[in-house]
Amino acid sequence: MNKILFSSISKKFVMALAGLFLLMFLPVHLIINFMLLKSNPGPFNEAAHFMATFPLVRIAEIVLFCVIIIHITWGIMLQIQNWLARPVGYVSGSKAETSFFSRFMIWTGAIVFTFLMLHFFNFYFIKIGLVAGNPEDFYSVAHNLFKVPAYDYIYLSCFFLLGFHLYHAFSSAFQTLGLNHRIWTPVVKVIALIYAILIPIGFASISITLWLFR
Amino acid sequence: MKLLLKIWRQKNAKTKGSFVSYQMDNVSPEMAFLEMLDSLNKRLVEEDKDPVAFDHDCREGICGSCGMYINGHPHGPVPAITTCHLSMRFFKDGETVWIEPWRAKPFPVIKDLIVDRQAFDKIQIAGGFISVNTGSAADANSILVPKKNSDEAFNSAICIGCGACVAACKNASAMLFVSAKISQFALLPQGRIEAIERVRAMVAKMDEVGFGNCSNTGSCEAECPKQIKLTNIARLNREYFKAY
Amino acid sequence: MGKLNSKIPDGPLAQKWTKYKASAKLVNPANKKKLEIIVIGTGLSGAGASSALGELGYSVKTFCYQDSPRRAHSVAAQGGINAAKNYQSDGDSVYRLFYDMIKGGDFRAREGNVYRAAEVSNEVIDHYTALGVPFARDYGGTLDTRSFGGVQVSRTFYSSGQTGQQCLLGAYSSLNRQIKKGNVTMFPRREMLDLVLIDGKARGIIARNLLTGEIERHAAHAVVLATGGYGTIYYLSTLAVNSNASAAWKAHKKGAFFANPSFVQIHPTCVPQLNEFQSKLTLMSESLRNDGRVWVPKTKGDTRPANDIPEEERDYYLERRYPAFGNLVPRDVASRAAKERCDAGFGIGETGLAVNLDFRDAIKKQGKKSIENKYGNLFEMYKTITGIDSYEEPMRIYPAGHYTMGGLWVDYELMTTIPGLYSIGESNFSDHGANRLGASSLMQASGDGYFILPNTINNYLADEIRVPKISTDRPEFEATEKEVRESLQKLMSIKGKQNAASFHKRLGKIMWDNCGMVRNEEGLKKALVLINELKDEFWKDLNIPGAYSELNMELEKAGRVADYFELTELLVTDALNRKESCGAHFREEYQTPDGEALRNDEEFTYVAAWEYTGEGKPHILHKEELKFEDVEMKIRSYK
C-alpha cells in the first residue's frame, strides 16, 4: 500500500489535487479582499465574521489547512528526493529551452509560504488569540498594515512571485492528473496565464490603492 | 579551428574526478564531435597517456550508446540529434567546450564520460514486454490496429534509451523514458492485456532505482534526440491511475 | 574434403523443414533446466534465440559487448523485413521469396536453408506483431508493405525508416521477459575472447569483463554465436564502429570452418566520405531509389552545381544500362555501376567519389509533401550530416561496406564444424549466397534465432542430458584462459607509438582499394603483401596505454584489429580462389563484354569452407558442392 500511496506518480497526484484546491481558494479570498476598498468597514468585517463563525466554513477551513500542510510537506518531500537523484550537478549548467517558471517552484513556493506565515501572524493568530488585536475588526488591521510601505513591498513582491508559482502550477496539475488533450491543453495554458496574471494583479491592486490613495 | 576542451576525467567509480583541459588546434568543421574526440585520443595514445573513455557504437544516431553533456545540453547544443551526429561546424573558433558525463544517482560514472545505465534495463525487465511465447502468435492481420494509434505507438517506440531525458531533467527523472514504453504498449490492443501489471511494475522499479520525480518542466522533451513528446507522460499518469 | 555434411533432410523442398522437425530428437522439460546454453550477441538472432530457448526452459547465459542488449547493431537496419505473407495478393508465395533469394544470391546459397528461411518468415512477422512491434499500417488497420530492390512483389513490412530498431526492441522485450523469469542471465559489457573445447565439443567461453578487465570463465553444454558480420573490415562501413569478427574468428581458430569470406555486400546508397577523419559511413535506405534518380554529368570533371547542369547533359546511367529495373537494380549491380562511373572520371564533389541521387522529378510529379511523408526522416538525417537540403539539390551518395554474406560454415541445423557450436544470423554464411537482397537480413536473423535454432539445438542436446553441469575448473578452461591472458599481454607489451584505430584505418584502405566492389588477381596479390607488411608494423608499433585489468577501450580495439589482420588474409585468399564473378564478388577478369558479372558454374558452384591449420600455415579449402534441384541456374539479368 505504501508503495502505491508514496510512488512518485501518486505523490505528484496528491500535490496536483491539493494545488488545484488551493487555486480555487484564492479567488474567494480575493473577492472578500475587494471589500477592503469600501470606505465602510461593515461588509468586510461581516464577511470576515461569517468566515470565522459559519460551521460549514469552519470545516472548509480545517480542510484548507490540511491541504496547505499536505501541499507543503509533499512538495518538500518530492524536492528532497529530486535533489538526491542528482548528487553531482553540471558545471556547464542547464541551457535547455524550458518553461522558466517551472524551475523555481520550490523557491517561489517557499517565499509564498513565508508570506503565509506573516499573514497568519497578522490575522489568523489574532483570531485564535495568540496575538493581541480585535478579531472583529480585520478591516482596520488590513488598512493599517497597508499604510506601512515595507509591508507593501513585501506584499507586492510575494504576489509577483506567487504569479510565477501559479502559472506553472495550473497547467502542470492537469498534466500530472493525465488530463491532456490536443485542443484543451493549449486552452488550459492560456487560462493558466490569465489566472496567474489576474490573481496577483487583483491582490496587488487592493494593496496599492489602500497604500497610495487612501 | 581551435578549441579548448574541458573534459571530465575520472579513473573509475571509486576515485574522484576533475576537469582536464585539452587544447585542440586542428579541428575541421567537417568533423563529427566524436571524431574530434577520436583525434584527441589518437594524440593521447601517441603520448602514452590514458585516452578519454566514452560510450559510442553505431555512430548514426540510433543505438543510444553515445551521450555526453556538452556546454549545458545533453548531446550538445543542436536539438533533436545524438552526440554522434553533432557536427563541429556548430562550434566557433576559439570556443571553450565543456564535456561532462550524464549526472544522476541511478547513472553512476564508471570512467570519464561513461556512465552505468543499467537502471533503464531494470525498468524494462520489470514489465516492458508483452508475454507471448515464440510460435504462439496468431496471424499478424488478425489484430487490427487503427492507423492513428499505430503511428502514435511508433512515435513513442522510437526512444533509443540514451538517457538524455534523465540527464536534462533538473530532477533526474526518468518519466519520459518510462512513459514512452508504456505509451507504445498502451496504444496497441496487444499491449492492453497486461497494461495494469506493466505500469505498476515499471513505475515501482523506476522509483526503486532512485530516479527523481517529474515536475513537468519539459526539459526532457526539449533535449530528447528523438523528440519524444510530453504527452506520453500524461498518458503514463492516466495509465497509472487506471491501474489502481 | 568429405568433412562437410550439410545434413539437408531428404524429400521435396517444401517438406524438408516439416519433416526435420517431426523427426528431430527432443529434450524433456525437466532436463532442459539442467542444460546450459551460452549465446553471444543480442541482435535479432541472439536476442531471439536467447528468449526462445529461455521460453523452452533451458538455462541461458547471454553476452554482449554493449552496455545494454538493446544496442546491438540490428538496431540500425532501416528499410524493412520481408515475409511471404502475400497480404497484397500480388502473387507472392514462400516459393517466390525463396526463388528471389536464390537468384539474388547469384545461385551460391544452399536451397534447403533458403527455402526454410522463406518458410519461417511469416511466423516472424506474426511474432513481432504480437510482441507489439508497431509496423506501418493501412487505414483499415491491416499491415502495410512496400517493395524493395531486385523483386517484383510488395512483401516488405516496415516501421518508417527504423524497422531494425523496432524489431530489435521487440526482441529485447522478449529477452527481458525471460531475464525476469530467471531463464536467461544477461552479461552485458563482456567480450568473448576464446572458445573452450572439451573432448572436441564446445563447452564454454573465456570472456573479458570490459568494465573491470577481469577474465571470466563461463561453461555450458552448447555455445551459440550470434555475433553479426565483419563489414568493419573496411574501417569505413555502415556498421557500428565496434562491430567485429573476433568471436567468430576465435571459434574459427578452434576448428569452425569459415565459409565464403570474400562475399561482402557493398551498399550503393551511403553518405560519401566527407573528410579524412571520418569514422563511419551512414546508410541512406535503399527505399530512396524508389523515387530518386541516380545520375552523373556527361562531361568529365564537370564542376557546376548539380542544379545548373541541364537535362541533356546528365547521364542517368542505371536507367541507361538496366532499362528493365532502372534505379531499382540489386545492390551489387548499383554499387559497381557507381564505381565504374567514378573511376572513369565522372564522379562529383571534391573527391570525385560520389554520384547524384536526385528527387527533383519525383517532387515535381508527386509534390514535396508526398516525398516528405515517405522519406522525411532520411532527408533530415542527410541534412544533419551534410548540411545539404535534398529537397533543393540532389543527395550525394557513394557505396560503402555493409553486410557480409560469408561467415562461419553451418549445416542445416546451424551447427558449425565444432560439435555444440552454433552460428546464427549474419555470423553464419548460409542464406544469402553471393549477394543479399534488401530487407532479408532482419528476416533471416529473426528466423534463425526465434524459429530455427530452438528447433535444431534439441537434436544435439538430447544426447547431452547425461552430462552434468560443466565445471570451469577443468584443465581445458585453465589452458584456454592462459592463452587468452598471454595474447592480451602480448598486445599490451608492444609499447610502440600508434593507436589501434590508425592501423585499422590503413588496413581498411588496403581492403577497400584491392578487395572491395571490384577485384582482380594483381590487386589481390598486392593486398596480401600490403596486409602482411602492415601486420608486422602493427606488432611492432602498436601502443596501448593503461593495463588489461581495467576498463581499456584501446585494448578492446587492438584485439579486434589483430584478428582482422588474419581474417583479411583469408578474405583475400578466398577472393583469389574464386575465379569467377558472382553477386558481390566481381573479378574484373571474369565479365561479359558489356561489363556484367560472369559466373563459372562448372567450377565454382560450391561453398568455399576454409579450415584453419595453425599460425602462419595456409588454410585448407573444403568444398561443399551446391545442388540445385528445384531451380534452374540462370544468368542473373536485370536489363
- Cell readout for B189 is 490492443
A-B CB pairs within 8 A amount to 130
C-chain CB neighbours of B64 within 8 Å are 68, 70-71
Indicate whether C483 and C446 sit together in one domain: no
Mutate to test the interface with B, among A71, A98, A176 (most CBs of B within 10 A): A98
Does any CB of chain A come closer than 8 Å to the CB of residue B124? Answer: no
Instruction: Work out the angle at residue C471's Cα, subtended by the Cα atoms of residues C469 and C473, and round it to the nearest 5 degrees.
Output: 175
How many CA within 13 A on the CB side of residue B242?
Answer: 17
- Cell readout for A79 is 524536492
Indicate whether C194 and C109 sit together in one domain: yes
SS3 of residue A18 by DSSP: helix
CATH number at residue C574: 1.20.58.100
> How much of chain B is in helix, strand and coil states, percent to nearest 5?
40, 15, 50
Torsion of CA B43, B48, B52, B54, to 10 degrees: 100
Structural domains present in chain B: 3-111 (3.10.20.30), 117-242 (1.10.1060.10)
Q: Are C531 and C572 in contact (CB under 8 A)?
A: yes
CB-CB under 8 Å, C68 with B120: yes
CB-CB under 8 Å, B35 with C279: yes
- C384 CB burial (10 A radius; 0-12, 13-18, 19+): middle
- C50 pLDDT higher than 90: yes
- Cell readout for C229 is 558480420
Long-range Cβ contact pairs of A162-165 (< 8 A, separation 24 or more): A162/A108, A162/A112, A162/A115, A162/A199, A162/A200, A163/A196, A163/A197, A163/A199, A163/A200, A164/A101, A164/A104, A164/A108, A164/A196, A165/A101, A165/A105, A165/A108, A165/A109, A165/A112
Name residue, grid cell 485564535.
Answer: A128
Domain that holds residue C352: 268-401
Indicate whether C395 and C487 sit together in one domain: no
Q: Minimal CA–CA distance to A7: which of B178, C167, C236?
A: B178
- Tell which B residues from 61 to 80 touch A, by Cβ distance under 8 Å: 69-73, 77
Q: Does the ipTM exceed 0.95?
A: yes
CB-CB under 8 Å, B233 with A175: yes
A-chain CB neighbours of B210 within 8 Å are 84-85
Is residue C631 situated within a structural domain?
A: no
Does any CB of chain A come closer than 8 Å to the CB of residue B138? Answer: no
User: What φ, ψ does residue C144 adopt, rounded to 5°?
Assistant: -100, 155
User: What φ, ψ does residue A102 adopt, rounded to 5°?
Assistant: -65, -20
Nearest residue in B to C240, CA atom: B58
Indicate whether C454 and C544 sit together in one domain: no
CB-CB under 8 Å, C544 with B135: no
Band (C636; pLDDT cuts 50, 70, 90): confident
Indicate whether C497 and C544 sit together in one domain: yes
B-chain CB neighbours of A88 within 8 Å are 103
Mutate to test the interface with B, among C65, C71, C452, C555 (most CBs of B within 10 A): C71
Distance CA(C511)–CA(C236), nearest Å, equals 11
Question: What's the pLDDT score for residue B151?
Answer: 95
Q: Minimal CA–CA distance to C217: which of C243, C244, C190?
A: C190
How many CA within 13 A on the CB side of residue C419?
Answer: 11
Strand order in the sheet with B18-24: B18-24, B3-9, B96-100, B69-70, B73-74
Indicate whether C487 and C497 sit together in one domain: yes
What's the pLDDT tens digit per position in C431-484? 999 999 989 999 999 999 999 999 999 999 999 999 999 999 999 999 999 999
Task: Report the first-to-last Cα separation within chain C, whole angstroms.
Answer: 39
- A3 pLDDT higher than 80: no
Distance from CA of C129 to the nearest CA of B (A): 6
- A214 pLDDT higher than 80: no
The domain limits of chain A are 2-88+103-213
| Contacts (Cβ under 8 Å, ≥6 apart) of C405 | C105, C260, C263, C264, C265, C429, C432, C433, C434, C435, C436, C583, C584
Secondary structure E strands in C364-504: 395-404, 407-408, 421-423
SS3 of residue C132 by DSSP: coil
Indicate whether C368 and C407 sit together in one domain: no
One pLDDT digit (tens) per residue for chain B, 244 residues: 999 999 999 999 999 999 999 999 999 998 999 999 999 999 999 999 999 999 999 999 999 999 999 999 999 999 999 999 999 999 999 999 999 999 999 999 999 999 999 999 999 999 999 999 999 999 999 999 999 999 999 999 999 999 999 999 999 999 999 999 999 999 999 999 999 999 999 999 999 999 999 999 999 999 999 999 999 999 999 999 999 8
C-alpha distances in angstroms, C486 versus A32, C498, C501? 86, 21, 22
What's the pLDDT tens digit per position in C79-111? 899 999 999 999 999 999 999 999 999 999 999
- A1 pLDDT higher than 70: no
C-chain CB neighbours of B34 within 8 Å are 279
Indicate whether C492 and C442 sit together in one domain: no
B-chain CB neighbours of A82 within 8 Å are 170-173, 212-213, 215
Closest CB from B212, B218, B233 relative to A85: B212
What's the pLDDT tens digit per position in C556-603? 999 999 999 999 999 999 999 999 999 999 999 999 998 899 999 999
Nearest residue in B to A16, CA atom: B215
Alpha helices in C109-226 (DSSP H): 111-130, 163-181
Closest CB from B58, B84, B117 relative to C68: B117
Q: Are A77 and A14 in contact (CB under 8 A)?
A: no
Q: Minimal CA–CA distance to A131: which of A140, A141, A144?
A: A141
A-chain CB neighbours of B239 within 8 Å are 178
Does any CB of chain A come closer than 8 Å to the CB of residue B173? Answer: yes
Distance CA(A11)–CA(C312), nearest Å, equals 70
Indicate whether C35 and C81 sit together in one domain: yes
- C2 pLDDT higher than 70: no
Is residue C197 situated within a structural domain?
A: yes
Question: What's the pLDDT score for residue B118?
Answer: 98
Q: Give me the DSSP letters along A133-149.
A: S-TT-HHHHHHHHHTSH
Q: Minimal CA–CA distance to A86: which of B120, B102, B66?
A: B102
- Cell readout for B160 is 533509443
Name residue, grid cell 577520436.
Answer: B38
Higher per-residue pLDDT: C383 or C373: C383
C-chain CB neighbours of B136 within 8 Å are 130
Catalytic residue list of C: 331
Indicate whether C184 and C112 sit together in one domain: yes
Closest CB from B49, B128, B143 relative to C176: B128
Indicate whether C333 and C356 sit together in one domain: yes
Q: Neighbouring chains of A at 3+ CB pairs within 8 Å?
A: B
Distance CA(C244)–CA(C252), nearest Å, equals 14
User: What φ, ψ does residue C589 adopt, rounded to 5°?
Assistant: -65, -20
Distance CA(A148)–CA(B187), nearest Å, equals 59
- C341 pLDDT higher than 90: yes
Q: Minimal CA–CA distance to B35: which of B45, B27, B46?
A: B27
- A19 pLDDT higher than 90: yes
Q: Minimal CA–CA distance to B56: which of C273, C240, C212?
A: C240
Mean pLDDT of chain C: 95
CB-CB under 8 Å, C140 with B64: no
Chains B and C: 3 or more CB pairs within 8 Å of each other: yes
Q: Minimal CA–CA distance to B106: which of B98, B121, B96, B116?
A: B116
Nearest residue in B to A105, CA atom: B215
Is residue C433 situated within a structural domain?
A: yes
Q: Are C201 and C419 in contact (CB under 8 A)?
A: yes
What's the pLDDT tens digit per position in C490-524? 999 999 999 999 999 999 999 999 999 999 999 99
- A40 CB burial (10 A radius; 0-12, 13-18, 19+): exposed
Does any CB of chain B come closer than 8 Å to the CB of residue C89? Answer: no
C407-408 vs C258-259, strand pairing mode: antiparallel
Distance of alpha carbon C93 from the chain centroid: 25
Q: Neighbouring chains of C at 3+ CB pairs within 8 Å?
A: B
- Cell readout for C288 is 530512396
Chains A and C: 3 or more CB pairs within 8 Å of each other: no
CATH number at residue C159: 3.50.50.60
The domain total for chain C is 3
Q: Are C209 and C229 in contact (CB under 8 A)?
A: no
- C1 pLDDT higher than 50: no
Distance CA(C455)–CA(C448), nearest Å, equals 10
User: What φ, ψ does residue B73 adopt, rounded to 5°?
Assistant: -130, 140
- C182 CB burial (10 A radius; 0-12, 13-18, 19+): exposed
CB-CB under 8 Å, C277 with B63: no
Indicate whether C396 and C383 sit together in one domain: yes
Is residue C290 situated within a structural domain?
A: yes
